[in-house]
Amino acid sequence: MRTYLTVYFGAVLVAMLLVPIVSRLAKRYQVVDHPGLRKVHRVPVPRVGGIAFVVATLALVLPVFFLNNAIGESFRESRGQFIALLAGASVMFVVGLIDDLRSVSGVIKLLCLVAAALAVCASGATVHFISVGSWFTIHTGGAAWPLTVCWIVVITVCIGVIDGLDGLAAGIAVMVCSTLTLLAVWSGQVAMAALMLALLGSVTGFLFFNFYPAKIFMGDCGSLFLGFIIGASSVVCQSKTSAFVGLALPFLVLGVPILDTGLLIVFRGAIKRRSLFAPDSSHFHHRLLRLGLHHRAAVIVMYAITAVSASVGVFMLGADGKWSVGLTVGAIALLFSLFACLHRGRYQKLFNSLKHNLAVARQAKAQTRDFERAQTQMYRSTSFPAWWQTVCAMGEHMRFQSLGLWHCENGQYINTCVWNAAQKESGNGRTVKLSLPLESNGGPERELRACICADDCLELSGRQAMLLARLIDEFPAPEHEEQAEASDQPTDTM
């Protein structure tokens, strides 16, 4: 007990001493987060506060390795796992610090995160099986490593997602570390309990400066370190208890950011079709602010939801398999109900967007096939009539309204070739018109003019125009063209 108290309060003290020092250094070297459209703060705030609790955690954990007691012995017995865990967390801290100081792409951060998670797997900390009391046991087999990596990545990303309001990520991390400490003590993992207490103490000390109005932010260096340790520690904890409880416990405590991240990914992909790494202002806490809640009130609401979920997780520790499943399902149902209330207008929009985007994807795929068919035919087109017929056939398959070839003579354009669709597209009459200049090679200026029906989707019409331009770029019109008779329907050479 003395070791536990020393680790916890020592981490609190070290973090509280380091935060002001880190803050002053960040201000001196302008490592600050400036106000912006997605920001809720109005003045520049130092953004590398994670340095304080990372140093505090390591400063209190590393000496425990050398203690001559049960906790130190437990650390040495599992030193491989703990070294891999702390080394991986340190790597993520360095990556996050570089991102805070310079900039690191989301793909690079993800690759580093996966590599660090694989190091944890290599140390033997994987989800080998998932058991629910005496009901059933599922052995993961070859899926153990991928499942473990995905779990660590998800938890790390979720910690970063909730780092959007003052004190939100740090406060929720305090609750997560508290529940994992209880899980470690309950399962007899004294070394893991000491690690979680060190992290808990350091984040608690940091929270004194990070709560609204925040004097310092943890930054990516802090959120990546914090998320990685929480994710990897939950995997280590489950190895000596029911894997269902070991993974369900952090899932419940992080239920809001996990569901928020999942829903956000779906909306980005289905509605906005944006990169998953792009910044966004439609997180759960942003919606609370838009409902009219004050910054502090929104954070407290998130704390309350997390506290309820954490309480359910703590009750699971003493429940049998049936009650564990029941509590987990009930808590997840409550979280889904909460999200349904706050996002009630977005689900219909999501369904409509999915339907629309699937239709657009099908039509885009068909356009690509038509373009590739035209490419193949162009390789065999050695004369102007064959070239013109191929262009017209592509226009017919893509449902262009008309195509025309124009020559410039004495400053005026004259239409020399024309193609019109056999059946005009019905709709509201929206039309995209474009002119593509053709290579003249010293001869008269020429251009290809096209009219494209834009009733379905302007994006698809723009894509049709792009594919036509690409075809003309790759296969210019022959220099010595022969007069081609105007016709309403081309010979289908495709």
Q: Quick: pLDDT tens for 342-401.
A: 666 566 676 777 777 788 888 889 999 999 999 999 988 888 889 999 999 999 888 898
- The span from the CA of 478 to the CA of 400, in Å, is 23
Asked, as a colleague might, if the bond just before 213 is cis with ω within 30 of 0, I would say yes
The predicted-structure confidence for 17-40, as pLDDT tens digits, reads as follows 999 999 999 999 888 877 765 555
- Tell me how far CA of residue 240 lies from CA of 127, 188, 198, 277, 320, in angstroms: 11, 8, 21, 35, 16
The predicted-structure confidence for 413-435, as pLDDT tens digits, reads as follows 888 888 988 776 555 567 888 88
The predicted-structure confidence for 194-227, as pLDDT tens digits, reads as follows 999 999 999 999 999 999 888 999 989 999 999 9
pLDDT for 113: 95
> Please, what is the average pLDDT of the chain?
82
pTM of the model: 0.74
pLDDT at 494 over 60: no
In SS3 terms, the chain reads as CHHHHHHHHHHHHHHHHHHHHHHHHHHHCCCEECCCCCCCCCCCEECCCHHHHHHHHHHHHHHHHHCCCHHHHHHHHCHHHHHHHHHHHHHHHHHHHHHHHCCCCHHHHHHHHHHHHHHHHHCCCCCCEEEECCCEEEECHHHHHHHHHHHHHHHHHHHHHCCCCCCHHHHHHHHHHHHHHHHHHHCCCHHHHHHHHHHHHHHHHHHHHHCCCCCCCCHHHHHHHHHHHHHHHHHHHHCCCCHHHHHHHHHHHCHHHHHHHHHHHHHHHHHHCCCCCCCCCCCHHHHHHHCCCCHHHHHHHHHHHHHHHHHHHHHHHCCCHHHHHHHHHHHHHHHHHHHHHHCCCHHHHHHHHHHHHHHHHHHHHHHHHHHHHHHHHHCCCCCHHHHHHHHHHHHHHCCEEEEEEEEEECCEEEEEEEEECCCCCCCCCCEEEEEEEECCCCCCCEEEEEEEECCCCHHHHHHHHHHHHHHHHHCCCCCCCCCCCCECCCCCCC
- The span from the CA of 242 to the CA of 134, in Å, is 10
Q: How far apart are the first and last CA of the chain?
A: 81
